[in-house]
Amino acid sequence: MLDHIAIATRDATAMRKLYELIGFEVHKVEEVPSQKVVATFLELHGVHVELLEPTSDDSAVAKAIAKRGEGLHHLAFKVPSLAEAMQRLRAQGYGFIYDEPQPGAGGKKINFIHPRDGGGVLVELCE
């Protein structure tokens, strides 16, 4: 199932205004040190949008903004077992960014399929 849609932004406080006007509500703002981002989680009718603001110039999100500009960063899908999904996809030749699951926002375990294996889309799997 779709867990969230993530958008890279230089200024999450300014960006969230648009979503709040649409009807989204902020339900959490969390710093994720392992990913060097502050994540703002918005929700409307079960749709979750995550605004990602980098906290450091060497964060993956800062690099993505420098290279590609602000905008859609990744799609995240929830899986029952990340370890099992990684094993299954790797066996079919899909490359993951991290060797092992990493700590993500909200205590989730996360990993990413490289955009070159995702048809130009960075895909997060989370558990």
Candidates 18-26, 40-48, 58-66, 80-88: pick the segment binding ligand CMX (CB under 6 A).
Answer: 58-66
Spell out, one character per residue from 15 to 54, where the chain touches ligand CMX: x when CB under 6 A holds, - when not.
Answer: -----------------x--x-x-x------------x--
Max Cα distance, the chain (Å): 44
CA distance 27 to 31: 14
88 token code pair: 């299954």
Site string for ligand CMX, 91-110 (x = CB under 6 A): ------x------xx-----
Sequence-distant (6+) residues with CB within 8 A of 65 are 8, 9, 10, 54
Q: Give the CA dihedral 104, 127, 72, 52, nearest 10 degrees.
A: -20
* List of residues contacting ligand CMX (CB under 6 A): 6, 32, 35, 37, 39, 52, 60-61, 63-64, 67-68, 73-74, 97, 104-105, 112, 114-116, 120-122
